[in-house]
Amino acid sequence: MSIAGQSLLRSIIGALLIGVPISAGAEDLPQGFSGKGQAGYVMSRGNSETDAANAKVDLFLLTPEWKHAFTLEGLYGRSAQVTSAERWDLRLQSDYTITTKLFSFGALAYQDDRFSGFQYQASASGGLGYKFFDSDTTKLSAQAGVGYRVLRPEILVKDADSGAVISRTPLERESEAVGTAGVDFMHQFNSSTKLTNKLIVESGSSNTSIKNDLALEVKMSKKLALAAGYSVLHNTKPADDVKRTDTITTLNVVYAFPTPQ
């Protein structure tokens, strides 16, 4: 696990222990508007100085023919006055039902990660998806398509002692056609416990980006749940001296809106 991930995990556990309000999680998607959100923050001062926060909001709009899903994620980590993590992820996807199993999709995505070796990556894509399982207890779907991506690599120079980034040199912006694929899985073990995993891949000549989010959620009430998550972000061609893989481990409280009946 990366230093940022370790710092974030310690911080979020601390936030839970001291009772910092966090937020959100919904179990099923009703017709109409729904959503969930989760976040954690802690500030430690004294023998060590640490600030860490992670947040995620999911919004859904469901009709008989359409499913619109919007996700916004943020991550921040700072230890010993050195920022070690800073990332924003945004994704909007609309699915149109063709048959009970087959659907088409269109998606927009944007990522700003200050430590990935890319100043930003933005893409638009579309394609087809298929639902292999769609029961109350198990859902599994896969999608594949094509799109267009714009990205801008950057060279990071870090201080040898503290690890702090002391300079950033943006390189030329690159644009390209990409292939995209994804897998979305959910299994409900019982009325209170479920496992989810979401994989998104975008591949082009400049870079292949792979993001996988695994989460185990345990309900405490209709509104609240505990969620443990493990996220992996991999870039195949970052700038020199930047690691290809980042991992983040989180432990959050989740809050659903509107309240499931």
Tokens of 252: 């959050």
**β-bridge partners, 126:** 106, 146
Residue-number span of the structural domain to which 129 is assigned: 3-257
The CATH number of residue 152's host domain is 2.40.160
Instruction: Judge whether 103 and 136 are in contact, CB under 8 Å.
Output: no
Instruction: Tell me the pLDDT tens digit for each residue of 120-179.
Output: 999 999 999 999 999 999 999 999 999 999 999 988 887 777 777 888 888 899 999 999
Mind listing the pLDDT tens digit for each residue in 4-62?
444 444 444 444 333 333 333 333 677 899 999 998 776 777 656 778 888 999 999 99
Amino acid occupying residue 86: E
Give the pLDDT confidence of 70-129 residue by residue, as tens digits: 999 999 988 777 887 889 999 999 999 999 999 999 999 999 988 888 999 999 999 999
Angular region, 46: left φ>0, alpha ψ -120 to 50, beta rest: left
Q: Count of domains in the chain? A: 1
Spatial neighbors of 30 by CB under 8 A, at least 6 apart, are 62, 258, 260
